[in-house]
Structures are given as structure tokens and as C-alpha cells.
Amino acid sequence: METTNTPSGRDLVTAANHIAVALGYTHTEVTDLAHVLELDGRADWPTADLLLIALAELTRRDPGRRDLVGALEAGEILGGPGGPLSRTRVNQLAQRPDFPTSRYELAGARIWTRADIVGFGQRWDRRQGRPRTRAAVPPGQALVLLTVGDDAHLVTASHPRNAPLVVPAARIAEQAGLPANELPGKWFTVERLDQDDADGFQLLHDPRE
């Protein structure tokens, strides 16, 4: 990579790094791919251009990493049947050493990736602060643990985290009126739920109502 010494070039490098962090990537991830691109016939390209191209390529490969959440959305993900957590409670949890590192901070507001918050929710034991192995899910309700491709993995009263129920994510998204990428961490009531399938999803504690 060509060294960037001009003020505008340095500004572009700084901006590229800030954008990477805001979108949920580390500086190392972006620079490592930039070096790969450099070796692929771009040795004479400016550093800033390589970083921006690397950033675009990373987001193309893994669009889910761009899904960022603030304290309000984190509270919805970490909440349970009793409702979402408050911003104050989320900010208290953010002081824990095992809480995900924020990807970006602006005027005191922290931004995390949805995947990081969902992952913490899977480990967090509300009672003692220890990693938990299973959430108590009432009958007739379901927690979307994660989405994999076109499928949503659900935790229910009959389906533990290590053996979730798999249903089409598009079905839940359509019935609940939510984008599929916002399903992980959300709780739903389910009209029909058996060992092999579920249907009739409605978002619990819907803030739109």
C-alpha cells in the first residue's frame, strides 16, 4: 500500500477506520483484507482506497454484521416475558467485564452489534450473573435464538437451546410485521406450537402498539 501523507489522505484513512468500527468490524479485520487486496494486483493503490474497498467487501460477505443496536434495542433483546430492559439497566449491564464491547460511541450513547447482544443474552443468568444454559420459556411462547440463512431457530418450552425448533424466518417476519434480521432476541406468542412446527406469531410487548 502506498503511504498516505497528505492531509486529505490521512483524513480518509481515519474515516475508513471509524466507519469500520461503527459497522461492527475491527481495525485488524479491515487492514488484513486490505493487505490481501494489495497482493492481488493493487500494490500501487493508496492506503485509503484499499481500506474502503476492504470495508465494502467485508459488508458484502457478511451483511448481518452491519446490524447495529443501541440501548433501547439491546433492552428489547435482553428482556424476557416481563418486558424489555430499560436503558438504565442496559447501561448498568454494560459495566460488566463480560458484556460486549461497544462498536461505537457517540455523545455518550453506545452502539453494539445485534449478534453480540444476542450472544450475551444466551450466556447471561439474570439471577446470579453466571452463564446460563437455558431460558425459561412459558408455554405458548417462543424466543428467536438466531437466524441461519432462511431459517429461524426457536427456543420454546419443549425445545431447549441445544435442540431448537427450526421454522422459516420469513413466516415469523410476515406474521409479526418485522424485518427478518430483527428477529433474533425477540419473544413471541405462538398460536400453534408443536414438536415439529409453529405458526401464528405475534411480537410480545410490541412497542408499536
Phi and psi (nearest 5°) for 183?
A: -70, -40
Q: What is the pLDDT along the chain (209 residues), one digit of tens a residue?
A: 444 455 455 666 666 666 666 666 676 777 777 777 777 776 767 776 766 677 667 666 665 555 777 888 888 888 876 778 888 889 889 888 889 888 777 656 787 888 888 888 888 876 654 444 444 788 899 999 888 889 999 989 888 877 889 999 999 999 999 998 889 888 999 999 998 999 999 998 777 66
3-state DSSP: the chain helix, strand, coil percent, rounded to 5? 40, 20, 40
The letter for the amino acid at 122 is: Q
pTM for the model = 0.43
3-state secondary structure 34-53: HHHHHHCCCCCCEHHHHHHH
Strand partners, 110: 105
* CA 142 to chain centroid: 19
Instruction: Give the domains, in start order, of the chain with CATH numbers.
Output: 7-63 (no CATH), 67-132 (no CATH), 134-209 (2.40.50)
- pLDDT at position 193 is 92
- pLDDT at position 66 is 58
